[in-house]
Chains A and B, each alone.
Chain A
């Protein structure tokens, strides 16, 4: 039986409203299952609180102003780290993708660093950069750098040779060739990398905020863990999830507007 969602499916695609309805329905079903499981008493409710308790904790934190100030602190670090890491990653990806000597020199080292887990780097970062804002922004940038670099490099590899030849025939060389061929052709790939970096830089920032921090949403989650406040800890996790989702949707919409010829992956 042919799939309803096959690419050549002649039936009309579901409308925006019905897609939203399916998404909301599945989220509501997941919450209901979670609520029922938490209330069943199989696992102690203070270790596995129901979503209603998490929501209550979220509202209390929001009213006290604690949530907003922690989210603002994390948001500042995250946006600075994402911007820095993405710029460096895109530049490195262009370089290693289009220039063979750079690729031979830098790629092994970058691939080596790419697989080192964030948490393992944390003590070293503390020793080198201390516990100030710089270390947290650098850590978020570290998390953003690798997906952007790898996606940009791959995008540069797949730039059609015909474009390069044509540009060269028309006299484009050096920086102009990069600016007029490599950069625009690799932009969709870079955008995919930045979209991945939206979450990976958050992972890295969370690791940084759990140690040597004065504020931030991951700091608050760790603090609540230390005090056995499971509801508040899960409220922090939920807040990060919602913010991450919203950031991803905003970014995807921005890419659709800025790069209309290519949807991000």
Chain B
């Protein structure tokens, strides 16, 4: 049974509807303006954030976005970022290309392959310099020096930075992939095959090298040294990034905050990344300092991308022209936020 208060409320609601309808009919332009103003104020009052999906690989050099999400730095910048984890940067990049993510991180090698094949992608920053690509070999099988690799079964994941390191490593020692038996595998499968003795070694990134070392302590690890230095890039769709420069600046600001946090709170950052990557703390501690976590756009990135681009074209036996990789870097938002971090 309705009370007197219910009746009063229903009368008020009917009057309000009638009033709005009259206003709409008599002053349609003013009504539209008022509606826009009302929605904007309501949105601001509700503190509505810009929803974004950030595709991140399960890799230590992607620490900055993980910390930024965990510590709420994206939220502070008015962004509602959902971090989607992927087993490899290549998969994460596919999410960006398919339009399922607006931001994405991956080492520069898959980005170069994507650009060479005509995909729309733009680098807005790098968040780490790393040397995570390594080679691990079974020294108990007499493989002690690079030349012993000839005819051996070696695994790699095509198109990744460790695949590029393989090319550089073999070229530096006078070999080509044709001199070995190269199998394609994902890093977790490499570790299992290595421990079982199915392969004699593999090119991969951390923590999978540490896992291989733990499974087969009689192993030898080759570091990239001067042969190859990689970047963890932050990528977006060019049309989206250029249409939303303010959003890009907010992303960059959040990442810069994460960089400062990592510098000031190393052990807390380690715990965050270990939890996010479901990694053992001790393993993470071993590889953490092999990366330099900073938000930047260095001139040498373009040189490295150009060299990888040449390799990519050779690999795909393509007659396409080598792209000008500078055109695929959108430096303006970072330059505005922190000019000293851009040397392009």
Contacts and interface: CB of A to CB of B under 8 A. Distances in A.
Q: Do A and B interact?
A: yes
Contacts of A132: 198
Interface in A85-109: none
B185 interface: yes
A230 to B, nearest CB: 7
Contacts of A226: 90, 113, 157-160, 184
B158 A131 contact: no
Interface string A57-75: 0001000100000000000
Contacts of B184: 210-213, 219, 222-223, 226
Interface in B155-178: 155, 157-160
Interface stretch (A9-17, A22-30, A122-130): A122-130
A232 B184 CA distance: 17
A127 B196 contact: yes
Interface in B103-122: 113-114, 116-120
A213 B196 CA distance: 16
A205 to B, nearest CB: 15
A59 to B, nearest CB: 13
A227 B159 contact: yes
Nearest to A61: B317
Interface in A204-239: 210-214, 219, 222-223, 226-230, 232
B183 A131 contact: yes
> What range describes how many residues of A lie at the interface?
20 to 34
Given A46-B118, A130-B193, A226-B159, A212 B183 contact: yes
Interface string A39-60: 0000011110000000000001
Contacts of A46: 117-119
Q: Quick one: which of B114, B117, B317 has the most chain A CB within 10 A?
A: B117
A109 B239 CA distance: 54
Interface string B174-209: 000000011111100100110011110000000000
Contacts of A127: 192, 196
A45 B155 CA distance: 32
B117 A126 contact: no
B315 interface: yes
B158 A227 contact: yes
Q: Quick one: which of A45, A60, A123, A226 has the most chain B CB within 10 A?
A: A226
A131 B114 contact: no
A24 to B, nearest CB: 32
A212 B188 CA distance: 11
Contact of A130 (B119, B198, B312): B198
B117 A229 contact: yes
Contacts of A130: 193, 196-198
Nearest to B163: A226
B113 A227 contact: yes
Contacts of B329: none
A132 B153 CA distance: 11
Contacts of A230: 117
Contacts of B118: 44-46
Contacts of A210: 184
Nearest to B186: A211
B97 interface: yes
Interface in B284-312: 312
A214 B258 CA distance: 42
Interface string A144-157: 00000000000000
A123 B189 contact: yes
Contacts of A222: 158, 184
Contacts of A214: 181-183
B218 interface: no
Contacts of B186: 211
A47 B117 CA distance: 9
A21 B97 CA distance: 40
B229 to A, nearest CB: 22
A229 B316 contact: yes
B119 A47 contact: yes
A226 B114 CA distance: 9
Contacts of B197: 130
A226 B186 CA distance: 11
Contacts of B119: 44, 46-47, 228
Q: Quick one: which of B90, B114, B182, B183 has the most chain A CB within 10 A?
A: B183
A122 to B, nearest CB: 9
B200 to A, nearest CB: 12
B84 to A, nearest CB: 19
B196 A64 contact: no
A212 B189 contact: yes
Interface in B313-344: 315-317
9 contacts: A45-B118, A47-B97, A126-B189, A126-B192, A226-B113, A226-B184, A227-B159, A227-B312, A229-B117
Interface of A: 44-47, 60, 64, 123, 126-127, 130-132, 210-214, 219, 222-223, 226-230, 232
The 3 closest A-B pairs by CB, nearest first: A226-B159, A46-B118, A228-B117
